């Protein structure tokens, strides 16, 4: 059993990122997309923490992860507000049905 | 040439003299119509008549002021500087010396009397206020002419009276003939005015600067003032223009102007036609005042004429020829006003004889006496014409003496005056002129030739004036046919003409009295032993004329001439008496049948009008048509050609603009629009699409970074 190393974290982060990406790209439900974005953010945060840990346990990456968590919280708040407003307006949370950004 | 300085007294009331009539003209001209409608004729005539009288009063006061000064003084009133160019200044200034005082008094006094007369004559005329406005305006212009102290101001008056003459001849403009007569007068006068202007320029040039290689330089003596001209004009003698001495050219050009205004050969033709105007106009403008402007001008410029015997000869000869020529025509006219018109032309000829032979004061004296007796004749004729309901043909009159005694006797007195019988003024003025003509020396023709022409004309004058008198006032009394009145009155039956209202007859009496009384200012030296009062009065103005050469005939010759004048006047009177009194003699008719050709030629005024029509007028019409053709085909062609070329160029330019410039602009705009249209579709509005783009872009970035930046190394 090999000890858990940097590669594992990176692979896990990549998986999370790809899963989040797929979720964002494929799901039509705005909330699901939000969840996908959360996954991506967390994949990034995981990478920061992992690099920080294996780079002399510096606090830089950890700080970044903290920022990302705050950012995610703010983003969730704003995004959920947008989604609520969208839902109120169109009775839908399906992004494929909303075309008001169409050029 | 007198070089001593003249006493010039400032007198700031002179400007009132022309101002009053101008005021009247403005009042009646601008507000006449409503005033007439509101208050009737009374207010119009009150304005139109009182202001000329006021002007007369001021003129009389000025005259007495002038009398109180030493001889040779003059009054002056500088109003403002009109033109100031370089060293030349033309002031708007009035001045009054003896000559202009006399003229101003004639103009204002006779003028005012004729205004009074007009109250009666123009009664119930539709243009009542217009008439008085014009008449006042005329007085204004005439007074500016007479009182102006420089040539330019005189020219203003000169043109002003021409304008008023035109307006008043064509006063009843509904009749095309009247309008035509006005136009003729204006055009003929313009020809003369051209001469005046050329004379002005020549004199101007003569006394003023000179052309040199450096250009034109103004002389110190560059002036238009009569008083200064008098002092510097001698300097022009040596100067020549096209080989002729300047004074002669200038004087003859001025005289051409005078032939226009004063109706002398060859420009007299307008005056007989001018009788189309109302009779007071004929009396005031075409007998008493305006037509004497030419004489006044020559007398005023006496210092210029004295420098050129040639010009003097021309003036005297033209005057003498006109006097005789017009008198012959006058003998054969039937229209009473035409007779008087030719008589006026003839009498003006006498005045020019006077000023032409250097007897300036005699010419001026004849202006004065003529103003009275000719105005009286015209106004008496007007009275007759009114009584005859605008019938002017003497053959249809007759016997009016019985029903119109005042008119008759005033007409008679004036006839006596004009014919030259020594109980009235005309004798003295005319005889002085003839005597001085006879006695003249230094002209290019002998004095007796001019005298002979004038002498013959004097006999004819007596003849035609008394012919008209006998035709109109003696014989069986004419009856008025019903319907003769062209003023809309319907007459019931035949009745006799009646004497006119006192406003008319009173004026006649005053003028006739003047025609007699004025004899006293010109009683000859031969009778009284002292020079005539008027000669003495005018002497300073004509101071240069004393040095003129005289033939020096003695008293015997003068007595002889006087008696011969009397004899030929009596002969004329006798002939008229014999042929026309009471219309008993049938000889005139027989003579007419015996010599129809002579009668026809003279009756038709020697066909001069027809001759002018055929030559000058037709020639001018041809010229103007040629000019018009040239204008239409050549000038217009050029202009239109230029226009067409410009249009073609503009069309080409338009094409370029439309297809090239606009094309480019539209192309860019179109391309942008289309590109935008295409690119718009990228914006699908589908969130996943954007996100795919984002992911793809990120991927591409990573790949690019991997390939180009090689971070690992």
Report the pLDDT value the prediction gives residue A81, as an integer from 0 to 100: 92
**Quick one: closest CA in B to A99, which residue?**
B685
Alpha carbon distance B420, B370 (integer Å):
11
Residues of B in contact with A102 (CB under 8 A): 683-685
Residue A5, Cβ density class (10 Å: 0-12 exposed, 13-18 middle, ≥19 buried): exposed
Alpha carbon distance B214, B236 (integer Å):
21
Give the pLDDT confidence of B132-169 residue by residue, as tens digits: 999 999 999 999 999 998 999 999 999 999 999 999 99
Give the pLDDT confidence of B356-410 residue by residue, as tens digits: 998 899 999 999 999 999 999 999 999 998 888 888 888 888 888 888 889 999 9
Report the pLDDT value the prediction gives residue B215, as an integer from 0 to 100: 60
Residues of B in contact with A26 (CB under 8 A): 688
Give the pLDDT confidence of B524-554 residue by residue, as tens digits: 888 877 888 888 888 888 888 877 888 878 8
Residue in A24, A28, A102 closest to B683 by CB: A102
Report the pLDDT value the prediction gives residue B320, as an integer from 0 to 100: 94
Q: What is the mean pLDDT of residues A95-101?
A: 69
- If one compares B477 and B647, the residue with the highest pLDDT of the two is B647
Residue by residue, DSSP assigns B514-571 as HHHHGGGGG--HHHHSS--HHHHHHGGGGGGGGGS-B----HHHHHHHHHHHHHHHHH
Interface of B with A (CB under 8 A): 679-688, 691-692, 695
State what percent of residues in chain B have pLDDT above 90: 46
Judge whether residue A2 has pLDDT over 50.
Answer: yes
Give the pLDDT confidence of B221-263 residue by residue, as tens digits: 677 888 888 888 877 777 787 888 888 999 999 999 999 999 9
Q: Kindly indicate the confidence band of residue B712, based on its pLDDT and cuts at 50, 70 and 90.
A: low
CA-nearest of B77, B252, B234 to B149 is B77
**Quick one: closest CA in A to B682, which residue?**
A103
Report the pLDDT value the prediction gives residue B153, as an integer from 0 to 100: 92
Phi and psi torsions of B71, nearest 5°? -60, 145
Phi and psi torsions of A100, nearest 5°? -70, -10
- If one compares B477 and B673, the residue with the highest pLDDT of the two is B673
Residues of B in contact with A98 (CB under 8 A): 685, 687
Cα of B677 to nearest chain A Cα, Å: 9
Q: What is the mean pLDDT of residues B67-96?
A: 86
Q: What is the mean pLDDT of residues B471-498?
A: 66
A97–chain B Cβ distance below 8 A for any pair: no
A24–chain B Cβ distance below 8 A for any pair: yes
Contact between chains at B688 and A24 (C-beta distance less than 8 A): yes
SS (H, E, C) B648-662: HHHHHHHHHHHHHHH
CA–CA distances in Å: residue B520 to residues A17, B365, B366, B414: 144, 11, 13, 16
Alpha carbon distance A59, B464 (integer Å):
147
Identify whether the C-beta of residue B512 lies closer than 8 Å to the C-beta of residue B406. no
Residues of A in contact with B683 (CB under 8 A): 101-103
CA-nearest of B292, B293, B397 to B337 is B397
**Residues of A (32-91) whose Cβ lies below 8 Å from B:** 33
Report the pLDDT value the prediction gives residue B488, as an integer from 0 to 100: 46
The ipTM value here is: 0.74
SS (H, E, C) B127-169: CHHHHHHHHHHHHHHHHHHHHECEHHHHHHHHHHHHHHHHHHH
Question: What stretch of H or E contains A41?
Answer: helix A30-54
- Partner residues linked to B74 by β-bridges: B8
Report the pLDDT value the prediction gives residue B219, as an integer from 0 to 100: 59
Domains of chain A: 6-90 (1.10.287.3510)
Q: What is the mean pLDDT of residues B53-75?
A: 91
Report the pLDDT value the prediction gives residue B218, as an integer from 0 to 100: 58
Q: Kindly indicate the confidence band of residue B2, based on its pLDDT and cuts at 50, 70 and 90.
A: very low
Identify whether the C-beta of residue B245 lies closer than 8 Å to the C-beta of residue B82. no
Phi and psi torsions of B237, nearest 5°? -60, -40
Judge whether residue B629 has pLDDT over 50.
Answer: yes
Residues of B in contact with A99 (CB under 8 A): 684-686
Identify whether the C-beta of residue B277 lies closer than 8 Å to the C-beta of residue B169. yes
**Quick one: closest CA in B to A102, which residue?**
B685
Q: Which two tokens stand for residue B675?
A: 């590109």
**Quick one: closest CA in B to A23, which residue?**
B688
Residues of A in contact with B688 (CB under 8 A): 24-26, 28, 95-96
Residues of B in contact with A25 (CB under 8 A): 688, 691-692, 695
Contact between chains at B691 and A25 (C-beta distance less than 8 A): yes
Q: Kindly indicate the confidence band of residue A100, based on its pLDDT and cuts at 50, 70 and 90.
A: low
Judge whether residue A89 has pLDDT over 90.
Answer: no
CA-nearest of B305, B318, B319, B315 to B248 is B305
Report the pLDDT value the prediction gives residue B486, as an integer from 0 to 100: 47
**Quick one: closest CA in A to B693, which residue?**
A25
Give the pLDDT confidence of B662-682 residue by residue, as tens digits: 999 999 999 999 999 888 887
Cα of B647 to nearest chain A Cα, Å: 49
Total Cβ atoms within 10 A of residue B250: 30
Q: What is the mean pLDDT of chain B?
A: 87
Q: Provide the CA B606 distance to its chain's centre, in angstroms.
A: 25
Report the pLDDT value the prediction gives residue B463, as an integer from 0 to 100: 93
Cα of A2 to nearest chain B Cα, Å: 26
A3–chain B Cβ distance below 8 A for any pair: no
Cα of A38 to nearest chain B Cα, Å: 14
Report the pLDDT value the prediction gives residue B484, as an integer from 0 to 100: 45
Give the pLDDT confidence of A13-35 residue by residue, as tens digits: 999 999 998 888 888 888 888 89
Report the pLDDT value the prediction gives residue B613, as an integer from 0 to 100: 83
Scanning the structure block, which residue is given the tokens 């509005």?
A: B685
Contact between chains at A103 and B695 (C-beta distance less than 8 A): no
Identify whether the C-beta of residue B10 lies closer than 8 Å to the C-beta of residue B76. yes
Given CA atoms B73, B75, B81, B82 in this order, what sign does their dihedral have?
A: negative
- If one compares A102 and B666, the residue with the highest pLDDT of the two is B666
Report the pLDDT value the prediction gives residue B380, as an integer from 0 to 100: 92
Total Cβ atoms within 10 A of residue B407: 28
Residues of A in contact with B687 (CB under 8 A): 30, 33, 95-96, 98
Residue in B679, B680, B688 closest to A95 by CB: B688
Report the pLDDT value the prediction gives residue B216, as an integer from 0 to 100: 58
Give the pLDDT confidence of B183-197 residue by residue, as tens digits: 999 999 999 999 999
**Residues written for chain B:** 713
Cα of A29 to nearest chain B Cα, Å: 10
Report the pLDDT value the prediction gives residue B493, as an integer from 0 to 100: 54
Instruction: Look at strands B240-241 and B244-245 and give their pairing.
Output: antiparallel
Identify whether the C-beta of residue B558 lies closer than 8 Å to the C-beta of residue B526. yes
Q: What is the mean pLDDT of residues B93-121?
A: 92
Identify whether the C-beta of residue B379 lies closer than 8 Å to the C-beta of residue B318. no
Q: Kindly indicate the confidence band of residue A99, based on its pLDDT and cuts at 50, 70 and 90.
A: low
A95–chain B Cβ distance below 8 A for any pair: yes
């Amino acid at each position: 059993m090999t000890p858990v190393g940097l590669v594992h974290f990176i692979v896990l982060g990549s998986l999370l990122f790809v899963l989040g990406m797929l979720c964002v790209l494929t799901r039509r439900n705005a909330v699901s997309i939000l969840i996908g974005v959360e996954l991506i953010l967390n994949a990034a945060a995981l990478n920061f923490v992992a690099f920080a840990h294996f780079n002399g346990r510096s606090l830089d990456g950890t700080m970044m992860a903290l920022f990302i968590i705050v950012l995610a919280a703010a983003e969730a708040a704003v995004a959920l507000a947008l989604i609520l407003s969208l839902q109120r307006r169109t009775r839908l949370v399906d992004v494929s049905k909303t075309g008001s950004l169409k050029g | 040439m007198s070089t001593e300085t003249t006493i010039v007294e400032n007198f700031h009331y002179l400007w009132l003299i022309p101002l009053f009539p101008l005021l009247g003209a403005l009042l009646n001209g601008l507000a006449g119509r409503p005033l007439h409608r509101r208050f009737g004729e009374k207010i119009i005539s009150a304005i139109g008549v009182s202001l000329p009288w006021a002007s007369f009063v001021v003129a009389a006061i000025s005259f007495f002021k002038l009398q109180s000064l030493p001889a040779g003084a003059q009054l002056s009133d500088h109003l403002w500087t009109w033109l100031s160019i370089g060293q030349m200044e033309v002031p708007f200034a009035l001045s009054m010396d003896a000559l202009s005082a006399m003229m101003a008094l004639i103009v204002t006094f006779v003028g005012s009397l004729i205004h009074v007369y007009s109250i009666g004559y123009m009664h119930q005329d539709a243009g009542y206020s217009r008439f008085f406005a014009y008449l006042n305006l005329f007085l204004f212009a005439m007074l500016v002419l007479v009182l102006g102290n420089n040539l330019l101001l005189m020219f203003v008056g000169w043109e002003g009276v021409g304008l008023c003459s035109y307006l008043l001849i064509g006063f009843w403009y509904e009749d095309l003939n009247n309008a035509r007569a006005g136009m003729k007068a204006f055009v003929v006068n313009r020809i003369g005015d051209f001469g005046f202007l050329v004379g002005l320029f020549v004199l101007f040039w003569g006394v003023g600067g000179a052309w040199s290689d450096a250009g034109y330089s103004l002389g110190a003596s560059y002036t238009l003032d009569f008083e200064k001209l008098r002092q510097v004009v001698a300097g022009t003698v040596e100067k020549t223009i096209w080989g002729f001495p300047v004074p002669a050219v200038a004087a003859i050009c001025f005289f051409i102007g005078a032939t226009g205004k004063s109706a002398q050969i060859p420009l007299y033709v307008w005056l007989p036609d001018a009788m189309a105007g109302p009779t007071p106009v004929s009396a005031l403008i075409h007998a008493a005042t305006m037509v004497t402007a030419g004489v006044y001008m020559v007398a005023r410029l006496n210092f210029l004429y004295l420098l050129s015997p040639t010009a003097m000869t021309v003036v005297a000869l033209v005057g003498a020829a006109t006097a005789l020529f017009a008198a012959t025509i006058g003998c054969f006219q039937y229209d009473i006003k035409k007779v008087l018109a030719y008589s006026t032309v003839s009498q003006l000829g006498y005045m020019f004889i006077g000023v032409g032979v250097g007897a300036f004061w005699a010419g001026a004296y004849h202006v004065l006496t003529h103003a009275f007796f000719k105005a009286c004749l015209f106004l008496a004729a007007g009275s007759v014409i009114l009584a005859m309901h605008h019938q002017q043909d003497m053959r249809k009159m007759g016997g009016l003496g019985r029903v119109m005694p005042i008119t008759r006797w005033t007409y008679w007195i004036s006839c006596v005056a004009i014919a030259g019988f020594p109980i009235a003024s005309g004798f003295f003025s005319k005889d002085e002129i003839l005597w001085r003509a006879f006695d003249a020396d230094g002209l290019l023709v002998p004095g007796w030739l001019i005298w002979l022409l004038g002498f013959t004309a004097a006999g004819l004058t007596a003849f035609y004036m008394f012919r008209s008198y006998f035709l109109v006032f003696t014989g069986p009394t004419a009856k008025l046919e019903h319907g003769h009145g062209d003023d809309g009155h319907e007459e019931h039956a035949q009745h006799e003409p009646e004497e006119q209202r006192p406003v008319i007859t009173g004026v006649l009496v005053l003028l006739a009295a003047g025609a007699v009384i004025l004899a006293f200012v010109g009683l000859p030296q031969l009778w009284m032993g002292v020079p005539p009062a008027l000669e003495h009065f005018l002497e300073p103005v004509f101071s240069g004329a004393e040095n003129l050469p005289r033939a020096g005939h003695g008293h015997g010759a003068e007595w002889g001439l006087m008696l011969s004048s009397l004899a030929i006047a009596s002969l004329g009177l006798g002939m008229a008496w014999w042929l026309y009194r009471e219309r008993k003699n049938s000889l005139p008719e027989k003579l007419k049948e015996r010599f129809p050709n002579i009668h026809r030629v003279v009756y038709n005024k020697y066909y001069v009008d027809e001759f002018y029509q055929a030559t000058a007028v037709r020639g001018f019409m041809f010229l103007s048509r040629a000019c018009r053709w040239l204008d239409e085909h050549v000038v217009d062609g050029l202009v239109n050609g230029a226009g067409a070329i410009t249009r073609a160029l503009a069309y080409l330019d338009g094409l370029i603009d439309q297809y090239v410039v606009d094309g480019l602009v539209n192309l860019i705009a179109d391309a942008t629009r289309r590109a935008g249209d295409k690119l718009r579709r990228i914006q699908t509005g589908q969130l996943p699409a954007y996100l795919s783009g984002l992911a793809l872009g990120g991927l591409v970035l990573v790949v690019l970074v991997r390939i180009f930046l090689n971070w690992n190394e």
